[in-house]
Amino acid sequence: MSRLSSRAWFFIGFLVCAGLIAIALFLQYYVHLEPCPLCMLQRVAFIAFGIIFLLGALHGPQQTGTRIYAFAGLLATFTGLGLATRHVYLQYYPPEYVSCAGDFYSQLERIPLGRLISNALRATGDCSKVDWTLLHLSIAEWSLIWFTILTVLGLFLLIRRVPR
């Protein structure tokens, strides 16, 4: 398995992210689950990782380039890990008071992006609600699992020696 080229590993990482975003869109538009602010920010992290790894797959870099792409991908996964961890925490320990702040897009029209991200990290409202599970795990827990897997992939590519 480690004999795969960096290009193949980058493409696998991209495919995983594309699949996860496809599942998220399916759940949103066909199962009618509205994403909370933390869900949206996690999607951004998955998309960022996917784009970085797609660029790595298209470029097919050598040792230094592989490490640069892996490091950039790790920035996205560490961000996603933090967001997913916060999301899972909120689901297990929901806030006492829930505010109705509106959905992500309506907030984006009214609030500057920096403050919106800050509000999303505090995540009052829908973020603590578990609407759907698979194998007794919420979407936030699955997201945390996938960010962990992608982090391991990024670390593997960061420390691996690329054959010449």
Domain-located, residue 1:
no
Task: Give residue 101's identity as a one-letter amino acid code.
Answer: A
Residue 23 structural domain:
6-92+102-159
The C-alpha atoms of residue 122 and residue 90 are separated, in whole angstroms, by 9
pLDDT for the residue numbered 78 = 95
Residue 124 has pLDDT above 50, yes or no: no
Domain-located, residue 85:
yes
The C-alpha atoms of residue 43 and residue 21 are separated, in whole angstroms, by 7
Please give the residue that has the higher pLDDT: either 121 or 82. 82
The domain that holds 52 is classified in CATH as 1.20.1550.10
Domain-located, residue 126:
yes
Per-residue pLDDT tens digits for 42-57: 999 999 999 999 999 9
Query: What whole-number percentage of the chain has pLDDT above 70?
Result: 79
The sign of the torsion formed by the CA atoms of 22, 27, 29, 34 equals negative
SS3 of 129, please?
A: coil
